[in-house]
Structure 1
Amino acid sequence: MPGQLRLERPQDAGRRLMRVRLAAEFGLVFFVLIAVYALLEPPGGPIPVLLVLAVAAVVHLRRQDGFDRRDLWRPGALRGEWRQLLGLWVVAAVAMTGLVAWLAPDRLFDLPRERPLLWALIVVFYPLASVYPQELLYRAFLLHRYAPLFPGPRSAALAGALAFGFAHIIFGNVLAVVMTLAGGWLFARRYQASRSLFTVSVEHAAYGLLIFTVGLGGFFYHGA
């Protein structure tokens, strides 16, 4: 009858409760705990914590029937993405180099010029110890586990970008947050298009190494 109250079906109530729990978990893991970490500044830097969380993310994902484990690597997907990836990177490289040369010429290529051994170590270990674990956590895990919270891929990518940008408050400067907010959107959309953590890790590493090379790495050191 018109005006009669509808009783919520048990399955609808269950889905609603699941979404509430997921939303609370998402806020706790990606915002509250990050804020606590930034306030406490525990010794050892973020890499050990990141590695532990990345391992936990892999364990979780491998237990999920709805997750395709091939997404954790899938290197062949790079063939369909590399032209766009390279084109965007070249534009960013020219823009970043020009801005640093204009606004802070003393910083331009400071790391490879003044500390070449450290720069070389970053080139080797940054993709392995930082980039891929971040992609496990912020792309594969976040976009799969919290998919029920979002109406579509763009809103999921936006949420992932916000979480990724917020994580960089640990570096104590606005530039790191703004740049990783933009990067978070780009990497999320790349992962959604390619379903390849390898491809998005290559892109992430390319931008990260560009930042460390042109003179912006100081904004991405812990405590910088």
Structure 2
Amino acid sequence: MNRTALLSEFLLLFVTPPLLVVSGLLPKAAVMPLLWIVSLYAYLILRSSKIKILPLDVERMALYDVLKRFLVIGSAITLFTLLYQPGIFLSLLKADPWQWLAVMLFYPVFSAFVQELLFRSFFFYRYKKRFKNRPLLLITFNALLFAYVHIVFENWIAVIFTFFGGLLFAHTYLKSRSLLLTAIEHSLYGNLLYTLGMGEYFYHGANI
């Protein structure tokens, strides 16, 4: 794929969709359908390249590392929520336990996994060579891009949180090359945020 085609693809897949939503040309309700459509394209490209999308073998030590990091970082996020937004703590769980349960079950599959397919598996496959063995630059750019697409929620918490999440997920994927492991890690943090009540910043687009 030549450089012009690669740049055009990058702009079409990653740059344009958030701008269409933020500008009002597309409604916020289009966010998830756009993600699924773009990720379907990514899946077809990966499949046509004979890349194994979801190997089920996850190294035990790598999984332990993910869980240990989650305990530390998850505790910090919980403390942040209690200090910064105590009024929303466990709000979804308290208000609608069934909706909370649905989020816990469906978010990992229909959001976290799909995002990791696009932003890690596809992105690294398609653009890694352009960074010429500079992993720190690759990870940082990937995290910035991941944060950028979250401008659709129109609040700084979503952008900042997803930047640091992007650093974490990109590092995990680059180290493990496991979409499954990275999706598990993404799901842990996503489900934690929704449980804590922070999910409104990643769905409703609170203007703060």
The answer to whether TM tops 0.5 is: yes
RMSD over aligned CA atoms reads: 1.8
Please list, as runs of the form range in 1=range in 2, the aligned pairs for 1:54-133 lying within 5 A after superposition: 54-64=39-49, 68-69=51-52, 72-133=53-114
Residues 1:189 and 2:171 aligned together: yes
Structure 1 residue 52, shift from structure 2 partner: 1.5
String of CA shifts for 1:87-119, please: whole Å, max 9, x gaps: 111112211221222222211111111121111
Contact preservation (8 Å) 2:93, 2:100: yes
Residue of structure 1 equivalent to 2:22: 38
Q: Cα 1:45–1:23, aligned 2, differ >3 Å: closer, same or farther?
A: closer
Over the matched positions of the two proteins, sequence identity in percent amounts to 33
Looking at structure 1, the residues matched to 113 and 68 of structure 2 have their Cα atoms a distance apart, in angstroms, of: 22
What are structure 1's unaligned runs of at least 5 residues? 1-14
String of CA shifts for 1:131-173, please: whole Å, max 9, x gaps: 1111111011111111232122332222211111101000010
- Spell out structure 1 runs of 4+ moving beyond 3 A: none
Residue of structure 2 equivalent to 1:163: 145
Comparing 128-137 and 151-160, the one that deviates more: 151-160
Residues 1:201 and 2:183 aligned together: yes
Pair member with larger Rg? 1
Looking at structure 2, the residues matched to 96 and 158 of structure 1 have their Cα atoms a distance apart, in angstroms, of: 21
Looking at structure 2, the residues matched to 156 and 118 of structure 1 have their Cα atoms a distance apart, in angstroms, of: 37
Looking at structure 2, the residues matched to 222 and 54 of structure 1 have their Cα atoms a distance apart, in angstroms, of: 22
Residue of structure 2 equivalent to 1:220: 202
Structure 1 residue 43, shift from structure 2 partner: 5.6
Count of residues in Structure 1 that have an aligned counterpart in Structure 2 = 204
**SS of match in other structure, 2:112:** helix
